Amino acid sequence: MDRRKSLKALALGTVSTGLLLDACKLADKKEAGADKVVAKDSNADNPTGINRMKEELAQYKEETSYTFFTPEEMATIAVLSDIIIPKDDVSGSATDAKVPDFIEFIVKDMPEHQVPMRGGLRWLDLQCYDRYKNAFTDCTKDQQIEIVDQIAYPKKAKPEMKQGVSFFSLIRNLTATGFYTTEIGGKDVGYMGNTPNQWNGVPADVLKQYNIAYTEKELKECRSFS
Amino acid sequence: MGKFQIKVQPKKYDAIIVGSGAGGGMATYVLANAGLKVCLIEAGPMFDPAKDSNQLKNPWESPRRGASTKFRPFGDFDGCYWGWEIDGEPYTQAEGTHWEWWRARMLGGRTNHWGRISLRFGPKDFKHKSIDGLGDDWPIGYEDVKPYYDKIDQLLGVFGTNEGLVDAPDGIFLPPPKPRLHELFIKKAATNIGIPVIPSRLSILTKSINKDRGECFYCAQCGRSCKIYADFSSSSALIIPALRTGNVDLITDSMVREVLTDREGLATGVSYVHKPDMQEYQVTGRTVILGASACESARLLLNSKSQRHPNGLANSSDVVGKYLHDSTGADMGGIIPELFDRKRYNEDGVGGMHVYTPWWLDNKKLDFPRGYHIEYGGGFGMPLYGFNWGIENLNGTYKIKGKQKEAGGYGASLKEDYRYFFGAHVGMAGRGEAIARKDSYCEIDPTVVDKYGIPVLRFHTTYTDYEINQAKHMKETFSEILHSMGAVITWGGDDTKANNYGLHAPGNIIHEAGTVRMGDDPKQAPLNKWGQAHECKNLFNVDGGMFVSQGDKNITWTILALSMRTSEYIVDQLKKNQI
């Protein structure tokens, strides 16, 4: 099968059309109508957009049929996730990337996170109430950062704050993994794959940077593209 | 439930094939192309990678961002249905022993997601008892299998290079992809300490081989199965082409219960339960070919008891289920400070490593009898669930852009850290040969059935010092390679004798083999050298069950070669009316 046909076959069999149709057009500039190819998935009737067994669809339906976190808990998660991943020069914030929605889903999918998250959120509110007579979300920005500073650094945190450290490490990890697996986060970290291409080896400037080179044997034997 | 009845299919086939993975798929392909009428029975649903693959889906298209579930233990986009557990289909363990059993339920079986690592056995791998006195020799040698390796190299496609290594024989290879950056680092570091690193051998099409299958477009997602059939899956490369001959009736979602035999003890067909309607069926054929997986094929034989075969079919030797073994496995990972803050580019490459290390030492000088090869990973992988997890263990340890930071943290500074470390990780995995032993086995659990009423397997598998010492050696080697490349070990570095040096439980590497082994002596082996049952000449096994041992190689390429060899033998015997 030639490359042009391969890419067309690919476009016909997937929902992620944008990239593919571009690739298809690049490979097939002359053929009219390539951009009119309609995407079709073999189980397009499932709401997830990805191939699922019926048992997986049942699980998805169950997990999305109820809400785990209370509105107050969700508000706290939103504030914390934006403290962890704020908007900066490179990319948007955790809430821009809908990280709280991901956390809501993932604790239902991975029930082992439920108690540490729920308990940690309550622990945080009680710490704030003791110090500032307010729940975390009702504290001032400075107060929020003051308490976060006491649980964000595992090695220098006081012993009596260790439960908070565990909680903050968990929500930092959930926030990071939720953020960098979105389009915004993937671009931020610079992941450039997941698109049809021709692997022609490490770019020349990178080889030079690390003072490393392909051997003659490799250049002779390996697949090359001009 | 209404009146119980068994529906007998009227059509008589030349062959009933149970299971559609590498072994069953190859048998289907060979027999159908020889003009024989085949009934292929698969326990799971239809699966065509062209339509059903999750290839090129983005991480956010999975609500769990590609995390694993019990339905897809290798991640939400993975191309294999089920894995370590299947609802309603339990298996049990004898006390004090452990086996992890991966079961696929879909057309093509595990080949839809496997690593495509396609290694020929070498001459020694068939005759290891003659070398070290352990296990048994095969009744065949490399010279018997070589013509079939040559044929499948060309029929299915595999890249690699001819290195002239006796134990990693040359083949008919497509060009391999160039090494990635971390692979060049590994190659340099390992070579410096005397460990060879050569291009890997994967059944991925770096060049087109026929009109039906595309050429690899380097997305690194072979594990999801390939929409353009640019890697080998039994579904895409064997069964779907075989269906086009018109000679194959495919029955999906059906669990075979028993191989049926007549008064003479010959196989007449199989009985099965069709899962969607829970109805019972029988289908008849001139031959029955088992490719259900080493353990499922053993289970089927042990459950096929009759007057002529009171100990289970083809089992008067009492060897069915015995000699069950898997590849050994141990792993380690690290981070390469030299790669911090790397320039970004697309380095997906093919789905898997571009280089590997074949076994390079002489076991006579070591405290374990068999070798292992090393698989490598690393680089700019797609961010999926777990990505950037545990930054608090990393960002206080290294200077980031010249600055020493406190571990943990948050905010813009933390975002900088994540960028800084991306693409600097590297991992390595040893995959070695375990000794097949009679006292490491599976059997029918006398008290437990699955939801279809089929008695289930009970596992009784253990490792000995041979495997444990090998794992220790793997760990020492990985540590040396990592140090040689200036990497810092981040995981897998603190294993000790107490946890068998990180040796994975048997079964975990998913190379089950040995349960229905071949041998010239019917008292010692259920199958003859053709994969044909000594006691039932129209019954064959074409999966990992027939293996006497499995070398330090992944077994799929040899399953395919041996299945092709057995299938050609069946065609010949049927045409001569010998069976």
Span B247-276, pLDDT tens digits? 999 999 999 999 999 999 999 999 999 999
Indicate which of B48, B56, B61, B215 best probes the interface with A, i.e. most A CBs within 10 Å of its own CB. Answer: B56
Which of B181, B229, B412 is the closest to A206 by Cβ? B181
Residue A8: list chain B partners with CB under 8 A.
none
Query: Which of A185, A226, A22, A12 lies closest to A92, judged by CA?
Result: A185
- Chain B, 520 to 539: residues with Cβ < 8 Å from chain A are none
Contact A154 B408 (CB under 8 A): yes
* Contacts with B, A 170-209, CB within 8 Å: 172-173, 176-178, 180-183, 185-186, 188-203, 205-206, 209
Which residue's entry shows tokens 């107490």? B498
CA distance B457 to B100: 12
Report residue A16's pLDDT band, with 50, 70 and 90 as the boundaries. Answer: very low
Q: How far apart are CA B4 and CA B279, in angstroms?
A: 9
Write down the pLDDT at residue B399.
96
Q: What is the pLDDT of residue B81?
A: 98
Q: Say what the pLDDT of residue A18 is.
A: 39
Q: Is A14 on the interface with B (CB under 8 A)?
A: yes
Residue pLDDT, tens place only, A159-186:
999 999 999 999 999 999 999 999 999 9
Instruction: For A181-223, write each residue's pLDDT tens digit.
Output: 999 999 999 999 999 999 999 999 999 999 999 999 999 999 9
In this prediction, residue A226 carries a pLDDT of 87
Share of chain A above pLDDT 70, in %: 80
Shortest distance between the Cα of B393 and any Cα of chain A, in A, equals: 9
ipTM of the complex: 0.95
What amino acid occupies position B488? V
Look at residue B2 in the predicted model and tell me its pLDDT. 61
For residue A48, what pLDDT is reported?
87
More confident: B467 or A13: B467
- Model pLDDT, residue A26: 42
Å from B51 to nearest chain A CA? 5
Q: What is the pLDDT of residues B223-248, one digit of tens each?
A: 999 999 999 999 999 999 999 999 99
Confidence check: pLDDT of B121 > 70:
yes
Which tens digit of pLDDT belongs to each residue from B318-344?
999 999 999 999 999 999 999 999 999
Confidence (pLDDT) at A25? 43
Q: What digits encode the pLDDT tens for the residues B74-116?
A: 999 999 999 999 999 999 999 999 999 999 999 999 999 999 9
How confident is the model at residue B133, as a pLDDT?
98
Say which residues have a Cβ less than 8 Å from residue A193's Cβ, sequence separation at least 6. B219, B220, B346, B347, B348, B380, B382
Q: Is B248 helix (H, G, I), strand (E, B) or coil?
A: strand
* Long-range contacts from B445-451, C-beta under 8 angstroms, 24+ separation: B445/B91, B445/B92, B448/B90, B448/B92, B450/B88, B450/B89, B450/B90, B451/B88, B451/B89
Mean pLDDT to the nearest integer, B401-429: 98
pLDDT of A45 over the 90 cut = no
Buried residues in B420-458 as b, exposed as e (16+ CB within 10 A): bbbbbbbbbbbbbbbbbbeebbbbbbeeeeeeeebbbbb
Name the residue of chain B whose CA is nearest to A103's CA: B64
Q: Which CA distances in Å does B331 have to B227, B368, B475? A: 31, 18, 7
Contact B343 A206 (CB under 8 A): yes
User: Does B276 lie at the interface with A, CB-CB under 8 angstroms?
Assistant: no
Query: For chain A, what is the mean pLDDT?
Result: 87
Q: What is the pLDDT of residue A47?
A: 85
Which range has the worst mean pLDDT, A42-56, B42-56, B218-232, B541-555?
A42-56
Q: Which of A51, A60, A199 sits opposite B53 (nearest CB)?
A: A51
Q: Return the SS3 of B170.
A: coil
Percent of all residues in chain B with a pLDDT value above 70, rounded to a whole number: 100
- State how far the Cα of A74 lies from the Cα of A100, in Å rounded to an integer: 7
Across the interface, which of A13, A88, A197 has its CB nearest the CB of B346? A197
Place B19 in a pLDDT band, splitting at 50, 70 and 90: very high
Q: In B412-463, which ranges are E strands?
A: 425-432, 441-449, 455-460
For residue B70, the SS3 value is: coil
With vertex at residue B103, the alpha carbon angle to CA B27 and CA B331, rounded to the nearest 5 degrees, is 110
List CB contacts (< 8 A) between B213 and chain A. Answer: 1
Per-residue pLDDT tens for A144-154? 999 999 999 99
Written as one string, the DSSP assignment of A130-193 is: HHHSS-GGGS-HHHHHHHHHHHS-TTTS-GGGHHHHHHHHHHHHHHHHHHHTSHHHHHHHT---
A61 touches chain B (CB under 8 A): no
Cα separation, B419 vs B401, whole angstroms: 11
Query: Would you state the pLDDT for residue B147?
Result: 98
Is B418 in CB contact (< 8 Å) with chain A?
yes
Comparing alpha-carbon positions, the chain B residue that sits nearest to A42 is B51
Q: pLDDT category, A31, cuts 50, 70, 90?
A: very low
User: Mutating which of B52, B174, B183, B410 best tests the A interface, going by the most A Cβ atoms within 10 A?
Assistant: B410
Per-residue pLDDT of B178-201, as tens digits, reads 999 999 999 999 999 999 999 999
Q: What is the mean pLDDT of residues A113-122?
A: 98
CA angle B54, A201, A190 (to 5 degrees): 60
Q: Does B4 touch chain A (CB under 8 A)?
A: no
Q: State the virtual CA torsion across B522, B456, B103, B527 in degrees, nearest 10.
A: 10
Asked if B65 lies within 8 A of A222 by C-beta distance, the reply is no
Q: Report the residue from B60, B213, B410 with minimal CB separation from A172.
A: B410
Residue of A nearest to B48 (CA): A42
B349 Cβ under 8 Å from any chain A Cβ: yes
Enumerate the residues of chain B whose CB falls inside 8 A of the CB of residue A197. Answer: 217-218, 346, 348
Using a CB–CB cutoff of 8 Å, tell me whether B64 touches chain A: yes
Are residues B228 and A6, on separate chains, in Cβ contact within 8 Å? yes
Of A33-47, A163-177, B323-337, B498-512, the range with the lowest mean pLDDT is A33-47
Instruction: Identify the closest residue of chain A to B343 by CA–CA distance.
Output: A206
User: Which residue has 């961002």 as its token pair?
Assistant: B65
CB-closest option in B56, B338, B347 to A14: B56
pLDDT in tens, B128-177: 999 999 999 999 999 999 999 999 999 999 999 999 999 999 999 999 99
Residue B48: closest CA among B227, B291, B238, B275 = B227
| pLDDT, position A32 | 36
pLDDT at A22 over 80: no
Parallel, antiparallel or unpaired: strands B38-41 and B6-18: parallel
Among the partner residues B55, B218, B388, nearest to A176 by beta-carbon distance = B388
pLDDT reported for residue A1: 66
- For CA atoms A134, A136, A141, A142, the dihedral sign is positive
